[in-house]
Amino acid sequence: MANIILASSSPRRKQLLEQVGLVFDTFSPDIDESVLNGETAQSYVLRLAETKAKVVLEQFPEAIVIAADTSLSLNQYIIGKPESKQHAFEIWSALSGREHRVITGVCVASKNKIQTIAVHTQVEIQHLSPEDMEQYWDTGEPIGKAGAYAIQGYAAQYIPRIVGSYSNVVGLPLHETMQLLNTVMKSG
């Protein structure tokens, strides 16, 4: 394994890190991603990112590990990945014509230092008709995506505005991740 390990199987996170020229390996840890009672979206993504990083670091103690988890928050409720077509339609109905928050928890860890951050981006989704939802579902893109959409794909046509980091909405806030990585690398 390389000196840097991305604790994820997400092709989007991999592409984002490759975009900035980072050389790394990937290893996806198997962790329980259940939401704890009363847990906020920010606490949830930070906990999962840190847990992923620590699990990978246990197996590769000489590595620097980058781990992340992304979720959506609407009115303090955590919106995860759709479990079915009906669930995706419920998610889109809740998001339709409104703003929501995309929150990514990032953890960069080595045996000497652990750094975490939560990055928030406001995303507005236009009003979605049942036809819009049906057409989007048929693309296959919503499956496995937090909030049942991918801003970098077909869903971009439904998003008139974001405030904050675009790469955060894709799944990894690049600027903040690289800042954490530099800090951890300097600590040895």
Identify the helix (H) or strand (E) that includes residue 163: strand 161-163
Of residues 25, 30, 69, 132, which has the active-site annotation?
69
Q: Which residues contact 110 (CB under 8 A, 6 or more apart)?
A: 57, 63, 64, 65, 184, 185, 187, 188
The whole-angstrom separation of Cα 172 and Cα 14 is 9
Give the helix ranges, DSSP H, for the chain.
11-19, 41-59, 85-95, 130-138, 166-170, 174-186
132 noted as active-site residue? no
The whole-angstrom separation of Cα 104 and Cα 119 is 5
Q: Which residues contact 86 (CB under 8 A, 6 or more apart)?
A: none
The residues that are catalytic are 69
